[in-house]
Structure 1
């Protein structure tokens, strides 16, 4: 166990803040929903939270597969079922149901059919068919026991046909659900604005009528029902608590109830529905299936209730499914309201604070313990935290789970990296590394500048230069060792001459890669400008080698160059007798990432915004994108240098202008216009081709409102 210094504490705090902020940021909002899914699964698997179905205040009447296979419904269009639905509705109402909600919508009537039948339309011949059904709706509605459902939409609303609306005197409420960005239903809307006024959603309306209390909506949007302040971390929503995984909701087959009504068994309807909230909906294998926070644990389409008239059909034991029938989503919402059991989620400030605190504990452990011990501590602490979260979820309080776990993982990784790169480097360098002497030319430059770097390093503003040959490994496989050495010596010599000719210092060669810096060891106020000029000259020189050097014949080599400017620690690292003049900082890491980022865009040179800004007006540039590179949470604006100012070609000017137009449309979410702009130069410009594909994909599948025009690169 090592001692923690002040620098380590600062690093741990910064790592905790960074990792906590990243994993609770809006782009990763889906992690909050994943926490609910995992907590629901763990509670369902580890704890017994199944309740007696008889205690459920909600029951479901299912238009199920049995109904479709049972006369008189078998082979009959659903439009012809209305009179039978009316009979069952009347029996349920007489049985003492508190309120009945329809999760099925009949947008038209057989009486409206204009299909010719004989000498008149079919609808004209069927006039009066729905009369008994409409009477049943009116009677149930007038007694306050019926609410029909509708789907609110600006484009394609789905509402009951007009005669039904009149029959129930507009006792109709919205069935819309709240779907997260991953198409999972974890919350339900509480109300909708209709004609500028808040109108309760179906679940709230049913619970309100059953409780005999109207919902109260505060100016803040918070809702209270019969003294129950409904928890809403997301405004105007209820976080669904699928306690029991929907196994404890009695479910009656509509076919059996229809036969029971024909049989006249009023006692059965009283036993089954007295004092209950009833939801009528479809329960089929492939229609109106919903993914919910039970998707990981598996949910159930209720539990079969007592039968009245028909024998129970032979069926296999009900198995959990990742999706459930939509009517059970509404049943869960109603039950949460009746039992005051909705999930309470932490707001954004508390989630972020808890995540940062967890990451800070892990970061401190990683400072004290060896890497293996730090990983073991992370696993143990995560398990303890998960157990605490599950125990609180039993009481409907949802702690964030995935955010702290991922932030802690990132913290332990970053702290191990911090110790490897910074905190333990002196001992590591003394034991494992040896260095080259500085070249005489570099020493002469340092002496002439009058500023010798101190042993151990100093902070300087530099521009880092990273280059790498594209696809070199596959080329090297086809060459003899002698050919490979001749090729590399020629290439590295040519590139090094250009870099040093522009005042740069080659830090190291890594195979075919070159790491160089400008601005150290000698002061160079124009280090960014000289680095960009060197990159352009290197790119031009490689083209000349490909065209005129025998060692390069037929190879068609290309390279990628990344440039980044900023503060870095540079100096002599090693002993007083042997040392290596090198550089370390995040500036270096970003330059390395930008070199690799070229392959995503098909470019040869990529520079950060800081480098571009420090070159003044010496070059013609075009902005490529805003990217988030591996290992960094904050986005970076990246640019491509085209040529010396005034030396760019007409084709470069045109491509840059078209690209800028397309990028502006992209950032304004005008993806169709972006496609049109980028496609004008896509055949000759790889970045335009890339953006054209991306914009075309978002035209077909628009991003969520929280989308930001930042490209996150998954690789180096």
Structure 2
């Protein structure tokens, strides 16, 4: 319970930390989030055909070469407007402003062309103070501004990494809202004049454009540079562009030549002409293509941070690392796919913050498991792996409460096995022969013991001590012990045949089994040498019974206490293939209570077990140990 509480604390801390960073808009995490946004813009972009209602009149290198150094004489702008009007252009928007007088005659002619067109939007630039408020506005000479249909601001405020992902649609200055060139282009495309604002929207006619509180709109880019039809400024001004190419179109006029330094960084490119960014804003708004990151998206982000953190905690805590790590990676991939789907649907769902929640929770829970849970697992493995089956070890790790390692009384069955006359055998054979045959014997017996899920307590020279019923409870521990003993003798018979065939003298073993309560636990010197073992009178009785095989010339002896655990299964036929014969009731040295001793022999597995009880009146007191 305490371990689970620790996991809950770690999970809550991790999620709270990520939420704190989310609300604080952490610079590092926001930078990563912006990069994931750019990646989504590029990867999820679907090419669209060139819009037929919008075009860019570009001040390119060709125009500069033909018309002279930029800025051009305003006579060229006059010629451009005259050609656009003649062709029937829907509107002309200049991504340039004219703050100084060139000459009264030229300026007047330009102003007249602006007024005759009746659809010209001129540009201006707002200057910002250190606190982010507007403190000045650089516009056009009065004669031009009076003639224009609108004056728009062309400010572009990139994010901290220099990338332009959004546009300020409206900027307040001196009790007036200055619309961006892009939103003015959208108004022309839609044929509306009204541009207003409320708390989190810019209202264009009847259309609500989702923005933040500062009227900043994420730009749904149409594509990389070149997403709109371009015509050279010189070609239009000189009449080299067919009228049908301009008719009915909203024309953005601006620089694309590198030498004019109006190149901006966008998610698509490090060299995007500023005029094309304005065109993207107009196109996005006019077609209702928006990306939003507002209150709804924030609530979804918060929910995903919490949900992903909790799911990760459950996965990391409940499952092994081999399984949990791929699942955590799958969870990250799932969230990335979810964020991509949301992006295609017009919502910017955070990738970085939920993924940070996943990674942080996964790391901390893994740390917790390594130093608390897995440490316990390592201790259990180190203690039991050499003398129990892997399944038992895994079960004890999965259910620690089943394997209390402190000393406790448990109902167990203990098995003692010893080689008959081993001292004489050792004296009559070379040491290397004794060791070789003993190792072969012990190896075969160990396989059988582990097969029947016994705890291999210890080897004492040629003797083997095994018990069942701890640390995991085994309701059938007496039956397991007896079946194990029978199979040990059968394996020994196979080994004896092999040794005889090899010309070696075989060995024979004796087994004694007793069942009852004993003390089970770690015994020894802590930090130096400890063994998980059993002690108590019933263990000692098991050892005494094994020694009685010499008295009765038998191979397997059990006590009446073990038999009592088997009577029901012997009677109903579920325990088969053995013959159990009562020998005597004996009183071992140091005891006063007689105990029945039974010999066991294997018979055909298909046959019912047979049982002959001891004569209750036949009691023998043994003086030897």
Indicate the TM-score class for this superposition, using the shorter chain for normalisation.
Answer: 0.5 to 0.7
Shift of 1:337: 0.8
Q: Is the 8 A contact 2:114 2:148 kept in 1?
A: no
Partner of 1:149: 123
Q: Does 1:250 align with 2:250?
A: no
Q: Distance in 2 between matches of 1:405 and 1:110?
A: 58
Partner of 1:289: 263
Q: 1:159–1:95: structure 2 CA closer, same or farther, 3 Å change rule?
A: farther
2:36 to 27, 35, 38: 38
Shift of 1:172: 1.2
Partner of 1:136: 113
Partner of 1:614: none
Q: Is the 8 A contact 1:60 1:279 kept in 2?
A: yes
Q: Is the 8 A contact 1:8 1:423 kept in 2?
A: no
2:341 to 369, 379, 391: 391
TM-score, normalised with respect to structure 1: 0.49
Partner of 1:68: 64
Partner of 2:273: 325
Partner of 2:426: none
Q: Deviations over 1:55-98 (max 9, x none)?
A: 353311110122122x2x2xx33344311121112211332222
Q: Deviations over 1:133-170 (max 9, x none)?
A: 22212323xx2x11111110146956344245444358
Shift of 1:109: 3.7
Q: Distance in 1 between matches of 2:91 and 2:8?
A: 61
Shift of 1:341: 0.5
Q: 1:331–1:31: structure 2 CA closer, same or farther, 3 Å change rule?
A: farther
Where in structure 2 are the equivalents of 1:394-413 lying within 5 Å?
394-413=344-363
Q: Distance in 2 between matches of 1:349 and 1:29?
A: 20
Q: Does 1:52 align with 2:49?
A: yes
Q: Is the 8 A contact 1:62 1:253 kept in 2?
A: yes
* Secondary structure in 2 matching 1:148: strand
* Secondary structure in 2 matching 1:130: helix
Q: Does 1:201 align with 2:180?
A: yes
* Secondary structure in 2 matching 1:343: coil
Report the more deviating stretch, 323-332 or 158-167. Answer: 158-167
Q: Deviations over 1:272-306 (max 9, x none)?
A: 222222111111235122122x1xxxx3xxxxxxx
Q: Distance in 1 between matches of 2:174 and 2:63?
A: 38
Q: Deviations over 1:151-205 (max 9, x none)?
A: 1014695634424544435831111123222222111112111222333222222
* Secondary structure in 2 matching 1:397: coil
Q: 1:129–1:10: structure 2 CA closer, same or farther, 3 Å change rule?
A: same
TM-score, normalised with respect to structure 2: 0.55
Q: Distance in 1 between matches of 2:230 and 2:36?
A: 27
2:73 to 49, 72, 81: 81
Shift of 1:43: 5.2
Q: 1:42–1:192: structure 2 CA closer, same or farther, 3 Å change rule?
A: closer
2:218 to 233, 236, 239: 239
Shift of 1:250: 1.0
Q: Distance in 1 between matches of 2:213 and 2:327?
A: 34
Q: Distance in 2 between matches of 1:27 and 1:343?
A: 19
2:97 to 93, 105, 108: 105
Q: Is the 8 A contact 2:55 2:230 kept in 1?
A: yes
Q: Is the 8 A contact 2:121 2:152 kept in 1?
A: yes
Where in structure 2 are the equivalents of 1:393-472 lying within 5 Å?
393-428=343-378
Q: Is the 8 A contact 1:106 1:159 kept in 2?
A: no
* Secondary structure in 2 matching 1:404: helix
Q: 1:29–1:358: structure 2 CA closer, same or farther, 3 Å change rule?
A: farther
1:362 to 301, 312, 323: 312
**Structure with greater Cα Rg:** 2
Q: 1:402–1:578: structure 2 CA closer, same or farther, 3 Å change rule?
A: same
Partner of 1:279: 252
Q: 1:161–1:398: structure 2 CA closer, same or farther, 3 Å change rule?
A: closer
Q: Does 1:336 align with 2:246?
A: no
Q: Distance in 1 between matches of 2:142 and 2:284?
A: 33
* Secondary structure in 1 matching 2:106: coil
What runs of 5+ residues in structure 2 fail to find an aligned partner? 130-134, 384-404, 407-521, 529-625
* Secondary structure in 2 matching 1:280: strand
Shift of 1:36: 5.2
Q: Distance in 1 between matches of 2:106 and 2:100?
A: 13
Q: Is the 8 A contact 1:105 1:158 kept in 2?
A: no
What is the RMSD of the two structures over their aligned residues, measured on CA atoms? 3.4
Aligned length: 384
2:303 to 329, 340, 353: 353
Q: Is the 8 A contact 2:182 2:281 kept in 1?
A: yes
Q: Distance in 1 between matches of 2:257 and 2:176?
A: 35
Higher-RCO chain (CA-CA 8 Å, sequence separation at least 6) = 1
Q: Distance in 1 between matches of 2:189 and 2:159?
A: 29
Q: Distance in 2 between matches of 1:23 and 1:56?
A: 45
Q: Deviations over 1:572-625 (max 9, x none)?
A: xx9996479xxxxxxxxxxxxxxxxxxxxxxxxxxxxxxxxxxxxxxxxxxxxx
Q: Is the 8 A contact 2:7 2:368 kept in 1?
A: no
